Amino acid sequence: MAVLEETIKFLARNAGFDLVGITAAEPSAFAEEYRQWLDRGYAGEMEFLARDLHRRLDPRELLPDARSIIVVGMNYYADDSEGPGTPPYDPERGIFARYARGDDYHEVMSARLKTLWTEIRALTNEDAAAKIYVDTGPILEREAARKAGLGWFGKNTMLINTRQGSYFFLGEIITNLALEIDSPAIGGCGTCTACIDACPTGAIVAPFEIDSRRCISYLTIELKGDIPEDLQPAISESGNRIYGCDICQEVCPFNIRRSTPTADPAYQPREITSSPKLQELASLSEEEFRERFRKSPVKRAKHRGLLRNVSMALAVSDDIEAEVALERAVKHDPKPLVCEHTARAL
């Protein structure tokens, strides 16, 4: 490995990234599979995944003369008190996906990647240019990460690192620098089907294939309308997943055996995301929502989306105060989305 590449990796780790690798900026090898996935309707209402398809399938369309991609991974697993396996459930409390319990990773990682690129550019005498992405641009991040050696694809479609599991965020620096590339990661799930067996809504329709329209993460975050009635019981009975879902990660042997908590302050859980009482969440006004979830990924669902999810969870609650909480949710947001879910719950 050349000196520049070694220095880049040192700087990346010094910036707080747990994984780092380099791959070539070249067209996707999964272009046809991706198009078929879209054609099946598996993206649901996430129309942005089909937008600018030529750019998404070829990183050279994102930056003129792009030659290399520096890919980083950042561990966000912080709740070691729960353990890496499926946690015990309290029917009166909601569960936020682990990635959403701390600060917004888009902001955290983007800032660190910008600093990293400034340091890299200072090392070169070339006319270096770059584009930085953290789960926002039209780039197939997991493919780039696999080629850069960060991990391999699990049957739940997550990127799994043999030594660290799958609880990490991805970010990329696409650059016109010609860098020495790393070997792709090697690994696999073998005969294990724990994630497929555990998914309560059957979203993993086949190994390595997700129907987003059935995925709890999609339903509680990306879907803006009503959650299909036939899927609501499975979501509630799986432990009141009110924002995102970790079930396919919680049962993964690599996470159970290898996940280690991060000490990064940015990803430590906030009080409001640490198994909060459903009643408390239902009582949040829109102003309180903005304040409690400031600089949080939960903002993506918006106030009404969270109230919709909480109302769904309260529908199966034995709490005698649940009815009061549901009525309070309608008062805070009388729009049809919340009213319909609340009326069904009552």
Q: Supply the residues annotated as catalytic.
A: 135
Coarse DSSP helix, strand, coil percentages of the chain, rounded to the nearest 5 percent: 45, 15, 45
Identify whether the C-beta of residue 335 lies closer than 8 Å to the C-beta of residue 318.
no
Identify whether the C-beta of residue 187 lies closer than 8 Å to the C-beta of residue 91.
no
Find the largest Cα–Cα distance for the chain. Answer: 69
Identify whether the C-beta of residue 96 lies closer than 8 Å to the C-beta of residue 298.
yes
Identify whether the C-beta of residue 289 lies closer than 8 Å to the C-beta of residue 306.
yes
Cross-strand partners of 74: 169
Token code pair at residue 8: 């880049």
Identify whether the C-beta of residue 43 lies closer than 8 Å to the C-beta of residue 50.
yes
Cross-strand partners of 174: 69, 131
